[in-house]
Structure formats: C-alpha cells, structure tokens
C-alpha cells in the first residue's frame, strides 16, 4: 500500500495553523529548479522504507515492524518494546478546525504540524522519535534528530512544521527512500498545483473568496481519496495522538498497570510498564469505524530486543535489591543464603556484563514498586528464587542477542538499484525543468 499526501495541507494560515490551500505563490515564483527542489515525494507504507528513513536520520536501536492485528495477539507478536505506533488509513474528510477546548502543546511533548504535501510519513516518524527517552544516535552519521530538535524546541507545532518543510537535509533523506516513478508523480502534482493556483487567481470571484473565509470550522471534504499517517506515542505516563493535520496533539489518557494497591504508570525515564498500546489501538479502531476504512496499515517503532532486555534486567536487579532489604528474615531465607542454590548477580557483574550502575538502580527504584506491593512476610523467599531464575534467563537472552548481532538490514551508504533509478529520473526531470518543458513553457533554444 502506498501513502499519497497530495490532498493534504500545504502551508500555514496567517495565525500559524495548518492550511489547506492548493499552492502558495512562493512555489510559483522562481525557476523550475526551485519548484522541484521543494518537493517532498510520496513514500511507500512499508516497514523497510520507514526503517531506512529512521536509519538515515541517525537513530539506532529502533526497529520498524508491521502490526498484523489490533488485538492483544497482534501486539504480542512484536519484537521489543513498542516506542510508538503509526496508523496509515484512507481518509475522506479532515477536521477543518479543532474543538475550542483543544489544549496547546505542552512543553514536554514535541509535536510538529504537516505544512507541505507528501511529508506525512516523515512528520509521523519525527513526532515519535523526538519523544523517545534517551534515543540512541549513531556515531557514524550526522545527528539530524538532535540538531533539529534543539533548533525547534521553543517553536509552536506550526513553526516546527515550517522549519521541517525548509530543512533540505531531512527532505533529501525522505526523498531518498522513494522510487523513480514517485519523483515524476510529485513533479506532475506540483505542476498541477501551479496551474490550479494560476487559474484560481485569475478567475476567483470576491464572493467565492468571502464564502471560503466564513467556512471555518466545517468539515473539509477531500475531492479524491488520500492516505494519511497518524502517530501514537507514550509520553510521561500518558498516551498521545500526534496528527500533523491538527494544530495541537491529543491526550488520549493515562496508561498504567495495576499491582495490588499500587498503580505504576511509567518509569523515571518515561518507559512504560504494561501495554500502553491498548489505548492507542482503541482509538485507531474508532477512527477506522468513523472513516469506514478498508485500506489501512499499522506499523510499530520498537526499541530493539537487546535494549528491552537491558531494561528488564535493570528492573529485575532493583526488585532483588528491594527484597533483600525489605523481606522478613526467616530461617528459610537464612538457609538460602548459606546454600549452593543460584544467587543474584552482584553489582560488579551487573556493571561489567550489562553496564548497569548503582546510580541507574538508585534513580529507577520505582521499577520495584510492583514487587514491593506483592511482598508479604511469607513469600519473600519464593519471590527471590523466581527473580533469580528470571535474571539468569535474561542474561542468557542478552548474551545470545550480543552473539547474534549482525549488520542492519538497511545498509546506509550503499546505492541500491532503486536509488540509482531515482537519481536518473531526477536528473532527467531536472533537465526538463531547467529547460521549462515541465512548466508548460517553450524549451529554450
């Protein structure tokens, strides 16, 4: 399935909100080179393509996977902890204006509007990646993510969208994942917008313009079916829907798991305990019902299994430490420490094998809240034995992952056949644009 953003927002209104005009005068003026140079091409909604964009942006430890079902079984098939979901669907209407009670984007949420056609895939990816705590970045590539995040931290969502539209490096990364035919289609779409804008400017009546200005708040019907991406991401104990076509992000509510009399929503780093995707999946199903969506796709951005195992090991080590401190002393527990039974790993082994430091354990002691909630004077030894068994299993998984670590499926820097085809098409198209052919002009002689 391919996403087509040709009917989505293109620029912003005077108040900084996403607009839905066809083509701005800025795109009309200038040479053919300027026109094509600003194009964002349509990308396929395939995990492989999104993975390539993620890698080219410099993010590591993130795997893009397809979600084969919106039930619990579908998410259980995913490998690694889910950092975000991307929902692609065929929409036929978009809200012209948000509800009056829509709250401004809070400072701890990074959110950008989509202000140009066909950029929805990268907008959705950025709206997730920018909110992943302690995102790992490759040391062998340019840090596009942190650089762009730092330069846009104080901006509004609309201003961030405008900065993204103008960012040549990220646009080239986005376009590098497209096929040659998309380059031609994008150029034709841009030319159609130019023609429509010129025609509208020439023949638009004042009454029509006045009518359009007074239609704010109504539902805008899309002439043709179009595909759109929406991001879902957990941020500090809450699930957010980040739709680039809306001015502000939407808080779907808190996500938590329950253990006895304690509710644990998220760790000190913002990593969720429990399945936060339940709220997101419910919202996706609701949107599908509203749109009568038949064609749709859901992808998950997952923290790789090795990082997930490390998080589980950290939680396990903290839980063992808490039981050693708070468990009621019994003859059985004393006998255990004197026996030859498997014992927990010591701090030195945790550090040298996994890089887990005492400071990390101290800063994340909330990870053991569920364990302490279940601890009773009678079950301390049983819980300790279970945690030690779990620790050994996690150690085995971690070492297996370390041994099996190989090159990424997407090799950045090696030109593929599709890359070569795209480059050739772009060069031909650029020559035509420079000559004025694609603009409907007479070729220069």
The residues assigned a catalytic role are: 120, 228
CB atoms < 10 A from the CB of 208, how many? 11
The single residue listed with the structure tokens 């006045």 is 210
Token pair of 56 as six digits: 């080219």
Terminal alpha carbon distance of the chain: 42
CB atoms < 10 A from the CB of 86, how many? 26
- Secondary structure in 3-state letters for 124-184: HHHHHHCCCCCCEECCCCCCHHHHHHHHHCCCCHHHHHHHHHHCHHHHHHHHCCCCHHHHH
321: three-class secondary structure by DSSP: helix
CA dist 116 to 170, 200, 369, Å? 13, 19, 46
Strand-pairing partners, residue 257, are 264
Coarse DSSP helix, strand, coil percentages of the chain, rounded to the nearest 5 percent: 45, 15, 35
Sign of CA dihedral 104, 95, 37, 181: positive
């Amino acid at each position: 399935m391919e996403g087509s953003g040709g009917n989505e927002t293109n620029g912003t209104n005077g108040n900084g909100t996403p607009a839905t005009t066809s083509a701005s005068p800025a795109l009309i003026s200038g040479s053919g080179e300027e026109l094509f140079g600003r194009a964002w091409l349509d990308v396929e909604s395939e995990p492989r393509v999104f993975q390539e964009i993620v890698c080219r942006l410099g993010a590591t430890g993130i795997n893009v996977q397809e979600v084969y079902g919106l039930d619990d079984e579908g998410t259980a098939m995913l490998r690694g902890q889910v950092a975000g979901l991307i929902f692609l669907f065929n929409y036929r209407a978009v809200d012209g204006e948000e509800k009056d009670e829509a709250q401004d984007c809070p400072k701890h949420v990074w959110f950008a509007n989509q202000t140009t056609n066909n950029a929805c895939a990268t907008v959705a990816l950025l709206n997730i990646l920018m909110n992943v705590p302690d995102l790992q970045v490759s040391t062998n590539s340019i840090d596009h993510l942190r650089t762009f995040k730092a330069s846009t931290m104080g901006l509004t969502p609309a201003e961030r969208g405008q900065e993204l539209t103008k960012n040549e490096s990220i646009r080239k990364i986005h376009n590098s994942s497209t096929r040659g035919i998309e380059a031609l289609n994008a150029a034709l779409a841009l030319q159609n917008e130019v023609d429509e804008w010129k025609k509208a400017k020439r023949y638009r009546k004042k009454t029509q313009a006045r009518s359009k200005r007074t239609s704010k708040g109504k539902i805008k019907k899309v002439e043709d079916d179009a595909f759109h991406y929406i991001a879902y991401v957990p941020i500090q104990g809450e699930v957010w829907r980040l739709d680039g076509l809306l001015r502000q992000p939407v808080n779907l509510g808190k996500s938590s798991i329950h253990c006895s009399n304690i509710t644990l929503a998220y760790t000190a780093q913002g990593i969720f305990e429990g399945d936060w995707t339940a709220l997101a999946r419910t919202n996706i199903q609701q949107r599908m019902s509203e749109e009568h969506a038949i064609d749709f796709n859901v992808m998950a951005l997952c923290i790789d299994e090795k990082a997930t195992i490390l998080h589980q090991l950290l939680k396990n080590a903290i839980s063992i430490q808490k039981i050693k401190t708070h468990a009621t002393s019994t003859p059985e527990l004393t006998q255990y420490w004197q026996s030859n039974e498997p014992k927990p790993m010591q701090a030195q082994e945790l550090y040298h094998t996994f890089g887990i430091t005492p400071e990390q354990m101290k800063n994340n002691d909330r990870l053991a809240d569920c364990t302490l909630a279940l601890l009773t004077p009678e079950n301390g030894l049983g819980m300790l034995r279970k945690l030690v068994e779990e620790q050994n299993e996690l150690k085995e998984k971690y070492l297996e992952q370390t041994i099996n670590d190989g090159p990424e499926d997407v090799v950045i820097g090696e030109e593929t056949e599709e890359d070569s085809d795209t480059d050739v098409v772009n060069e031909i198209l650029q020559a035509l644009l420079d000559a004025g052919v694609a603009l409907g002009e007479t070729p220069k002689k």
